[in-house]
Amino acid sequence: MRVLNFGSLNLDYVYAVPRFVRPGETLAAENRRVMPGGKGLNQSVALARAGCCVFHAGCVGEGGEDLKKLLEDSGADTSLLKRVNEAQGHTVIQVAPDGENCILLFGGSNLCVTREQAVSALALFGPGDWLLLQNEIGLLPFIAEEGYRRGMTVVLNPSPYGPAVGETDLNKVSWLLINEVEAEQMTGSADPDGAWARLHAMYPRLSALITLGDKGSVCFAPDGARVWQDAFRVRAADTTGAGDTYTGYFIAGLTEGLPLQKCMALASRAAAVSVTRPGAASSIPRREELPV
């Protein structure tokens, strides 16, 4: 099966800090690294390194040439990327000593996607193919609608949460992949079971996966199935990109027809490896690197 990931590409400016900056404070960073990232790119890299046939569509801006090369080196097809005359999208990331991070996002080139580009890319796909979306590019509701209309299985990772998510018809989405913060933002419930109850009442055909950081993850299906997966215990160096690693490997498992429990275990192992390494895309393991 093929996956079309219509998503972002970012340059990550990663600053190691003794703690997160407080309002009004100036804090000296211990070091800075410039690394590849973006939820779209990260998830395509994870899909490709998991062995999935993935096509990445989106826009490459000024300074983003190495991001395209990374996708290609990981095994993703980049023929649907468009070059635009706009600054490459980027993030400013603070990473604390315990590996936790906070992220400031600038859309840049990622907001240059046009309807014509979206229609042209989606015309190459149809029933049996998967469409993966995040909320770091423009036209999210339109692309989701077009993918559904063409018979694709639509997967949405609505991060970062914002108005475009509310404008997207989740009746057209098969899988919603969210963390606990996004679950509360979308439903008002901080409890995963409570969040699922509200989602299921509004969108009875939707399946949802909620990741809970080091507490694990839980998956809900319309037929009432509830599957829990513990997180694998490791010493974290940098949690940036762990969720994207999980997402890519989880979807790879789904496209292979694996049972939910095996999809979640596969994704959890990959995410555990990723947090032991610095960076986002650069931390994502290949499938042969995963512990058994």
CA 274, CA 88: separation in Å to the nearest integer?
25
| Contacts of the segment 221-226: beta carbons below 8 A, 24+ positions apart | 221/260, 225/260, 226/193
- In the beta sheet, which residues pair with residue 103? 93
CA 60, CA 24: separation in Å to the nearest integer?
34
- The candidate with the shortest Cα–Cα distance to 278, out of 14, 49, 44, 5, is 14
Cβ atoms of residues 284 and 274 within 8 Å: yes
CA 179, CA 240: separation in Å to the nearest integer?
14
Among residues 12, 129, 238, 244, which one is catalytic?
244
156 residue type, one letter:
L
CA 111, CA 89: separation in Å to the nearest integer?
8
Residue with tokens 């090369």: 69
Q: Decide if 244 is catalytic.
A: yes
Which run of H or E residues covers position 185?
Answer: helix 180-187
- The candidate with the shortest Cα–Cα distance to 66, out of 78, 52, 80, is 78
CA 99, CA 179: separation in Å to the nearest integer?
17
Cβ atoms of residues 12 and 42 within 8 Å: no
- Order of strands across the sheet with 90-95? 31-37, 10-16, 90-95, 101-106
CA 216, CA 264: separation in Å to the nearest integer?
10
Catalytic residues, which ones?
244
